[in-house]
Amino acid sequence: MNDTRFDPSTADGRWQRAWDEARCFEADSNSAKPKSYVLEMFPYPSGRIHIGHVRNYTMGDVLARYRRMRGDEVLHPMGWDAFGMPAENAAMEKGVHPAGWTYQNIETMKGQLKQLGFALDWSREFATCDPEYYGHEQGLFIDLYEAGLVYRRSSAVNWDPVDMTVLANEQVVDGCGWRSGAKVEKRQLDQWFLKITDFAEDLLDGLGELDNWPQKVRLMQENWIGKSTGLEFSFDLSSGDTLPVYSTRPDTIFGASFVAVAADHPVAAGVAESSAEAQAFIEQCRAGGTTAAELETAEKLGFDTAITAKHPFTGANLPVFIANFVLMEYGTGAVMAVPGHDQRDFDFATKYGLPIPRVVAPSADEADAPLTEAYSGDGVIVNSDFITGMGVDEAKAAIIAKAETGGWGEGKTVWRLRDWGVSRQRYWGTPIPFIHCEACGVVPVPKADLPVKLPEDVDFQTPGNPLERHPTWKNVSCPKCGKDARRETDTLDTFINSSWYFLRFASQPDDKAFDAQEIAKWMPVQQYIGGIEHAILHLLYARFWTRALAHIGKMDVKEPFASLFTQGMVTHETYKAGDGSWLSPGEIKRDGDDWVHIESGEPVSVGRIEKMSKSKKNVVDPTDIIRDYGADAVRWFMLSDSPPERDLPWSEAGIEGCGRFVQRLWRLFGQFDASAQGEDKGLARKTHQAIAAIAQDIEALAFNKAVARLYELTSAAEKAEPSASRNEAIRALLLMSSPMMPHLAEEGWAAMGEEGLAANAPWPQVDEALLVEDEVTIAVQVKGKLRDTLTAPKGASKESLEALALASEKVQRSIDGAPIRKVIVVPDRLVNIVA
């Protein structure tokens, strides 16, 4: 039928247009079919899509197309996470407007995505920088404010001196800005906060039900939320003050031998007022590095304040130190130090010659065993007055109870999670919809005035916040009293944009952010796919927003993503010239087993396989490879070989193999012979086994296995003689490969004379009867070692299998006349003879 080659350069575009015209992939909320929401993390429009996007969206696309074939109404949308600093940086560097730059990039990238033939519902596309989108976001922000989930306070913020903006704690990596890498400073500013801590317990508990999330991600979030329980109580100080401390080990209270406060603690400040030495020590602490390496080696340092703290039970006077290892941000910024059972306290006590009593021992016999390091294990309480002899947990409860009855302390839960600071002193973000009035205070912008749009005439040539510098934008009248007032010039953290975009995809009315009933039809997202780098920030914020919106009655969904899949990166070999500079694959050529630089002829060393990055010049541009091999070969490569959660090494040889397979399938489609008759039972069986197995593989997102099975069935069909069974195999292959290689499938579908689009065809039916083999291969082992294989009818009795096995000459030779002690028969699988 076709001796020609499949030509993606014409076919790809033709079918992409056909899908568009037929509006195949537009989701119908009113459909009676089961709903299925498949979503990949939407891209930031940085300029061009990269190969990681291609892998991510190909996986989602296979699932979306597969679910459609299984009869679901599928929502598979795409949009743009379009606010953010790169647009502003471009504005500063190139003098282009962030909006122009962003929308231009969106156009380019949309074109690239279209070339890949993704089954996306483009009718729901939006960018988070569309005033319509951020206007609704402003409305939601005001709703949360009115529900008490948004507040403002002055706080020390992480200030990035290069980007001239405030960073969230999460955006500070090792004391440096996550983008600029500049050393972060502390500044006091009035900031907007979201009360994520109100949901700490709920966010933690919710993790337990996310069975279809990677355990790794759940653990990361659990650690991030960081729940701990313990006792908060106050020491009476010799200075007359009281000093609250927090401990998760109140059971060790009789082992406390000193008290330590953070350098930023008020007690430290008080001491510093009259002591230059203390002041100097505090400054030394602040200067200390916070990187992992520095902390690893940092010595425990302290300054004796000469103040003492009275132990609540023993009445002993414990010295109070300012210590460099106590954090002001956690607990109360002060600790009771128990050197016997906390390594940091141990190190400190050793250095300053403080007592190191033992109050926990593995057993009562070891109550006075000397400590060479802190003992943090379980055991029995010793040397501790009324709690001596108790277990650790029992003692914790006893001390907390005693403190609560005595009125000097209480059991308390402390979280590592902080409220989310969302103020950014930048232009390219959602304007925070509030007005500051001298008389009325902070006033929300009336809903009717939303969106608060960004001004277009802004100056990017000076650092800082362009909204602040704009001559008129911030001058408004107060919505309450009408007097002159000032518009808030901070914009929202871009993570807010991505915290509810999946809701807007599901429902996008004009008059509100989304419609609860429409949301209920699609949410939660059935399968969410994206990179592991969002394990904490984006995914935790999205979970929080969803809960917060449910909490204020906007909808009825608590968890946004029922299943989460984190895909691996696309990696590539790196190449280095003799002088150590990186070379791109295009600059080198093969010379026997070695590589040489084309230009200089110098030898090239092959470096590690690493994530594609511009600096290492190991990037492959999706546009180039789509042009060279066609969308289907690229998609196929993205799914082949590596399991989707692992890294995928890009290789020229690999993509060429994929290109060959596209043609191979095309030739096979051409051998579909409508006139062929007769049954080929073996092939039919393989076909139906493949249909069942590939469906399972796709549902498990085990695309590499589905691919392997498609190869197998292809080989079998190629080798078979023409028959009705063979036609069935070819047709099944076409349909089963269509989620992966949709253009080829459409071309083949048309060539076979089928009606309509393959994209609308159902998944092939499995004939259950054909899944069962009637003959099986039985492995025959002697003492667990394979000696022979034999063929037996399916379901043969144990006795007959044993007899068959014993009849084997190879088996007899192996037994060599030894007496048979035992025979294990696993029906339809194996016989193991123990001689």
Partner RNA sequence: GCGGGCGUGGCGGAAUGGUAGACGCCGGGGACUUAAAAUCCCCUGAUCCUCGGAUCGUGCGGGUUCGAGUCCCGCCGCCCGCACCA
Nearest to 244 by CA among 142, 366, 336: 336
3-state secondary structure at position 491: strand
CB nearer to RNA: pick between 329 and 799:
329
Residue 550: CB minimum distance to RNA, A: 27
The least CB distance from residue 135 to RNA, in Å, is: 33
User: Least separation, in Å, of the C-beta of 182 and RNA?
Assistant: 18
DSSP 331: T
User: What string of DSSP letters covers 574-640?
Assistant: EEE-TTS-EE-GGGEEEETTEEEETTT--EEEEEEEEE--GGGT----HHHHHHHH-HHHHHHHHHS
Which CB, 212 or 223, lies closer to RNA?
223
With beta carbons less than 8 A apart as the criterion, state whether 381 and 390 touch: yes
Q: Give whichever of 196 and 513 is closer to RNA, judged by the CB atom.
A: 196
Closest approach, Cβ 791 to RNA, in A, equals 9
* Contacts of 135-138 spanning 24+ positions with Cβ under 8 A: 135/450, 135/451, 135/452, 135/453, 136/450, 136/451, 136/504, 136/512, 136/513, 136/514, 137/430, 137/492, 137/496, 137/497, 137/500, 137/513, 138/430, 138/431, 138/432, 138/433, 138/445, 138/450, 138/451, 138/452
Bridge partners (DSSP) of residue 412 are 230
Q: How far is the CB of 344 from RNA (least distance, A)?
A: 5
**781 contacts 41 by C-beta, under 8 angstroms:** no
- Residue 124 CB, shortest distance to RNA, in Å, is 33
Backbone phi, psi, residue 610, to 5° = -135, 165
611: CB partners within 8 A, 6+ apart:
569, 570, 571, 647
- Alpha-carbon distance of 176 to 180, in angstroms, equals 8
**CB of 122 or CB of 352, closer to RNA:** 352
CA distances from 721 to 596, 731, 749, 775 (A): 48, 15, 21, 21
Which CB, 755 or 774, lies closer to RNA?
A: 774
Per-residue three-class SS string for 634-686: HHHHHHCCCCCCCCEECCHHHHHHHHHHHHHHHHHHCCCCCCCCCCCHHHHHH
Buried b (16+ CB within 10 A) or exposed e, 164-186: ebbbbebbeeeebbbbbeeebee
Nearer to RNA, 87 or 639 (CB): 639
Identity of the residue, 218 or 474, whose beta carbon is nearer to RNA in the bound complex: 218
Q: Which is nearer to RNA, 361 or 665 (CB)?
A: 665
Distance in Å, CB of 219 to RNA, minimum = 5
Give me the count of residues in the chain.
835
Please identify, using beta-carbon distances, which residue of 91 and 399 lies nearer to RNA.
Answer: 399
For residue 388, the minimal CB distance to RNA (Å) is 21
Q: Is 175 left (phi over 0), alpha (psi -120 to 50) or beta?
A: left
Specify the residue, 152 or 412, whose C-beta has the smaller distance to RNA.
Answer: 412
Q: How far is the CB of 177 from RNA (least distance, A)?
A: 15
For the CB of residue 287, give the shortest distance to RNA in the complex, in Å.
11
Distances in Å between the Cα of 71 and the Cα atoms of 20, 32, 64, 528, 703 are 20, 10, 11, 20, 20
Cβ of residue 822: shortest distance to RNA, in angstroms? 6
- CB of 10 or CB of 777, closer to RNA: 777
Please state whether 508 falls in left (phi above 0), alpha (psi between -120 and 50) or beta. Answer: beta
Minimum CB separation from RNA for residue 127, in Å?
A: 28
Judged by CB, which is closer to RNA: 794, or 829?
829
Nearer to RNA, 437 or 831 (CB): 831
Tell me if 502 sits within 8 A of 76, measured CB to CB: no
Q: How far is the CB of 481 from RNA (least distance, A)?
A: 44
